[in-house]
Amino acid sequence: EETFEANANVRVEITGKVALLTLNRDQALNALNSALMQELIAKMQQLEANSDIGCFVITGNSRVFCAGADIKEMQSKSCQQMLAEDYFSPWERFTAIKTPKIAAVCGYALGGGCELAMMCDLIYAGESAVFAQPEINLGVIPGIGGTQRLTRSIGKAKAMDLILTGRYMAASEAEQSGLVARVFTDETLLEEALFAAQSISEKGRLSVALAKEAIEQSMELPLTQGLLFERRVFHSLFASEAQQEGMAAFIEKRRPSFTQF
Ligand code: CO8
């Protein structure tokens, strides 16, 4: 299933319970202007509300995932305008989307492009992937989470190194640093990302959503409170049909079917 719209900044292709979102603003290397941002978020919110999608995959093209926030759109804004618009705040609606999001990155993921990947729940990279936060070269700093999410993801030493120099980090280093979950060849990246998305979409919706939330809480909470949050979520899942089905299937030596939950 595929929707074709003239001038769409984001192409949507649905296969089973997986929605593939392809950034489609090639002329600007998929730079995130307001139109693209609004379109991406609206399409994901719509799919989450009105369909059975269990996982999103967000990708670019073979050369560019996304070259960052749109510099041409930002260039002439004043400080007052930036504050009044709270520029970039709509991205909070993106991170609030509960359905898991996988970033499948080939080529450049620069600035806001790296930040978009980090706002997804996990990142798979092709061998050609290049990550950077080059905002320092524009006289600014990362503005969609780069100083916060990158530091939590790869630690202070590497975050300082990347953000202060603006240098490029290749896929292999990104994997060693823990930014990227797995690296594949460029040719197999999308297939592997869709395969993982398919696998996630076949699990119980509630257990996936709560596992994701518990991992997110680990970024916010002290250990004792994080462990308590996890345990209470674990306990609460014993009121779910998914727990009954999953454990019954194990005892009965069959594959669980979570499709209805
Ligand atoms: N914004 C707008 N247009 C862009 C962007 C961008 N981020 N990146 C590329 N483009 C445009 C180019 O201007 C060019 O347009 P045109 O054909 O009209 O001249 C077209 O895309 C093709 O780009 P290039 O000719 O540069 O292509 P190359 O293959 O030579 O180079 C690169 C590719 C290396 C990716 C190069 O384009 C580049 O370095 N781009 C900018 C990368 C960058 O600095 N990104 C960070 C942007 S800032 C950000 O994301 C967060 C900002 C936080 C600020 C906080 C404010 C509150």
Q: What is the 3-state secondary structure (H, E, C) of 158-226?
A: HHHHHHHHCCCEEHHHHHHHCCCCEEECHHHHHHHHHHHHHHHHCCCHHHHHHHHHHHHHHCCCCHHHH
User: What are the structure tokens assigned to 2, written together?
Assistant: 């595929």
Inter-residue contact 201 to 57 (CB < 8 Å):
no
Which residues line the pocket of ligand 1, CB cutoff 6 A? Answer: 28-29, 31, 67-72, 82, 87, 108, 110-112, 134-135, 138, 140, 142-143
d(CA 70, CA 9): 13
Strands of the sheet with 18-23, listed across from one edge: 2-3, 10-15, 18-23, 55-59, 101-105, 122-126, 182-184
Residue located nearest, by CA, to atom 46 of ligand 1: 111
| Global confidence as pTM | 0.95
pLDDT by residue for the chain (261 residues), tens digit each?
Answer: 565 676 799 999 999 999 999 999 999 999 999 999 999 999 999 999 988 999 999 999 999 999 999 999 999 999 999 999 999 999 999 999 999 999 999 999 999 999 999 999 999 999 999 999 999 999 999 999 999 999 999 999 999 999 999 999 999 999 999 999 999 999 999 999 999 999 999 999 999 999 999 999 999 999 999 999 999 999 999 999 999 999 999 999 999 999 766
Q: Report how far Cα 197 is from the mean position of its chain's Cα atoms.
A: 12
Query: Catalytic site residues?
Result: 69, 112, 115, 135
- Looking at residue 7, its pLDDT comes to 78
Single out the residue of 23, 95, 8 nearest to residue 57, CA to CA. Answer: 23
- Based on its alpha-carbon atoms, the radius of gyration of the chain, rounded to whole angstroms, reads 19
Q: What is the 3-state secondary structure (H, E, C) of 90-115?
A: CHHHHHCCCCCEEEEECCEEECHHHH
Quote the pLDDT of residue 115. 98
From 32, 37, 63, 71, the mutation candidate for ligand 1 (largest count of ligand atoms within 8 A of CB) is 71
